Amino acid sequence: MSIPASIGSLSLAGKVAIVTGGGTGIGRGIALAFAKAGADVAVSGRRTGPLESTAKEIEALGRRALAISTDVCLKDEVDNLVERTSAELGDIDILVNNAANGGSGPSMLDSDEARWDQIIDTNLKSVYLCCHAVGQGMIARGRGNIINISSIGGIYPGGGRIYGIAKAAVNFLTRSLCLDMAPHGVRVNGIAPGAVRTDMLTHDVGTEEENWDQLATHIPLQRVGQPIDMATVALFLASDAANYITGQTIVVDAGLTSGSFTPTIDFKKEMD
């Protein structure tokens, strides 16, 4: 493998990417950032409306886009996602495993088997299925990038116990897969977001601005993250600028986990 002669570029011109969970939140932010950097992007998810909206935004940036309704917990649907993307956009250079659910909920012992299966399948099994479906092609071509969206919940136990277990496993998967893929020129990294204003976190925090302002007081940089904060890190990892980084899960949390970690806040109690 050649040694870069200069600083790598952030350009993704000529690249093809898949972003799961790409219709809203962090996934949408990543898909649009990739398109702005020159990539053609396939976005997948279960809700057609948000996917089509994101695809139109990508096309408005002058890039090709696909909106493919996919349940990434099911192998047949993942295989269809990969096959359609390859056929209509070309060889897949970048995979972002962003699909997720269950950021909070009952504790492990208060939960049940159905809840366990739902969270583990969406947050962990989906990553395995997508990596498995895309990985062989990347190995054959001798290049590629996989980025797994994890969570600080997978590093520091918080309110979403099963979610944290799934995300901790994603971190381990990232390190393990890196060892398999590195000899073939494929990099595998992860991003562990902190508090980011998405639909999933809004479910816990609510829509009241005072709740978000309160949450910000627990964060060293004094603000809640936005999807673009994660998208810029994903763009860096997907680009040649990060060509010597693999097997890492980068925590992007504005310092939240650097000091006294407050993983969950009972807003109803706090606001009473």
| Cβ-based neighbour number of residue 130 at 10 Å | 26
Nearest to 246, CA basis, from 189, 191, 174, 190 = 189
Nearest to 147, CA basis, from 227, 230, 223, 77 = 230
* Element (DSSP H or E) covering residue 145: strand 144-149
Starting at the edge strand that comes first in sequence, how are the strands of the sheet with 65-69 ordered? 65-69, 40-45, 16-20, 94-97, 144-149, 186-193, 249-252
Catalytic residue selected from 128, 156, 163, 244: 163
> What residues pair up with 40 in beta bridges, in sequence order?
16
List, in sequence order, every beta strand (DSSP E) within 7-93.
Answer: 16-20, 40-45, 65-69
- Any catalytic annotation for residue 244? no
Tell whether the torsion through CA atoms of 70, 72, 75 and 79 is positive or negative: positive
Max Cα distance, the chain (Å): 61
| Burial of residue 270 (number of CB atoms within 10 Å: 0-12, 13-18, 19+) | exposed
**Residue carrying structure tokens 């995300």:** 167
Please tell me the distance from the alpha carbon of residue 21 to that of residue 19, in angstroms, as a whole number.
6
Alpha-carbon distances, residue 141 vs 132, 162, 181, 233, 241 (angstroms): 15, 36, 12, 25, 20
Q: Which residues are catalytic?
A: 163
